Amino acid sequence: MKRRKHLQPSRRPEEFYTPESQLRHPRQLLRQMWLDLLASRELAWRLMVRDISAQYRQSFLGIIWAFIPPIVMAAGFNLANEAKVINVGETSLPYPAYVMFSTALWQTFVEAISGPIQAVTTAKPMLARVKFPREALILSKLGEVFFNFSIKLILITALFIWFQIPITWSVILAPVALIHLVMFGTFIGVMLSPFGVLYQDISKGLTLVTGFWLFLTPVVYPVPNDGVFGFLVKFNPVTPLLVTTRELATTGLLTQTVGFWVVSLVTIVGLFLTWIGFRLAMPFVVERVSS
């Protein structure tokens, strides 16, 4: 007689949750962060495609909304400048092109801030019920930010052609500066996202803060050199990132090199530390939301 073999049912790997902080094992924490980042790519892609499809499917004007804010802002400030209501001064580009290009960069920065907050807040039910790498939420919004900017590139290309803006060799480095600008916005967004899940004040207050922040950023005017206002504009961390991106794409004459690299270094370190804080905070946030 043949002896029958009893097949053992496959067991899922057990997970243990302890009150011990993950910071006590930094090497293990970093390894898990890297593995989760790799594992989140496919889900991030699916979330990005879903959000972009929903964004433009439920809108009558569709991608035209990407062009409307820069055009409206440029038209308004151009009229005010010609009527001498405001005194902008000399700009490196024709003023309508200057405002539209700068507004497109500013919009991209604001989207990078609000993206992580919106992603985590929208995924609140999924966070409480499904276990998945939380990094997928951030990556999906990053992809959405760059997709929206690629649409704005159509307007920017039209500006270059209409105003006959010469293209210099430095334009090939402009995407690098743009990535730094998006990274800085993502750094702020990831830092605020756990609080945004718990308190709606974050999303509401962010609109007010970015509205005031806009007037301290040289979007509709060149960088001032004198006075308290000039000091505030130069002290603004967005200024060197946005100005350098604009200068690389147009004139190639850089005026904010030191500030650009200082803010970029702070951004890289801050984004890494914020990523760690995000991972440590999310289990408590999910527990608070699901209770």
DSSP labels, 60-88: SSGGGGGTHHHHHHHHHHHHHHHTTSS--
DSSP calls for 159-197: HHHHTTPPP-GGGGGHHHHHHHHHHHHHHHHHHHHHHHH
Q: Is 39 left (phi over 0), alpha (psi -120 to 50) or beta?
A: alpha
In this predicted structure, what is the pLDDT of residue 45? 92
In this predicted structure, what is the pLDDT of residue 7? 41
Name the residue type at position 106: W
DSSP letter for 25, please.
S
Nearest-angstrom CA–CA distance, 183 and 190 = 10
Which two tokens mark 25?
């094992």
237: three-class secondary structure by DSSP:
coil
**Confidence label for 13 from pLDDT (cuts 50, 70 and 90):** very low
Q: Is 43 left (phi over 0), alpha (psi -120 to 50) or beta?
A: alpha
Average pLDDT, the chain: 83
8: three-class secondary structure by DSSP:
coil
Burial (Cβ within 10 Å: 0-12, 13-18, ≥19) of residue 40: buried
Highest mean pLDDT out of 4-13, 77-86, 226-235, 266-275 = 266-275
Nearest-angstrom CA–CA distance, 14 and 29 = 18
pLDDT at residue 85 tops 70: no
Contact 194, 282 (CB under 8 A): yes
pLDDT at residue 10 tops 50: no
| Chain segment 193-203, per-residue pLDDT in tens | 988 888 788 88
pLDDT at residue 41 tops 50: yes
Q: Within the chain, where are the H helices?
A: 26-39, 41-57, 68-82, 95-122, 124-129, 135-162, 174-198, 201-215, 227-235, 238-249, 257-290
pLDDT-above-90 percentage for the chain: 32
In the block, tokens 């991106």 appear at 245
Which two tokens mark 272?
């890494």
224 or 59, greater pLDDT: 224
pLDDT at residue 286 tops 90: no
In this predicted structure, what is the pLDDT of residue 62? 65
* Among 139, 77, 141, 69, CA closest to 105: 69
pTM of the model: 0.85
Contact 246, 102 (CB under 8 A): yes
In this predicted structure, what is the pLDDT of residue 6? 44
Nearest-angstrom CA–CA distance, 286 and 142 = 22
Nearest-angstrom CA–CA distance, 29 and 269 = 17
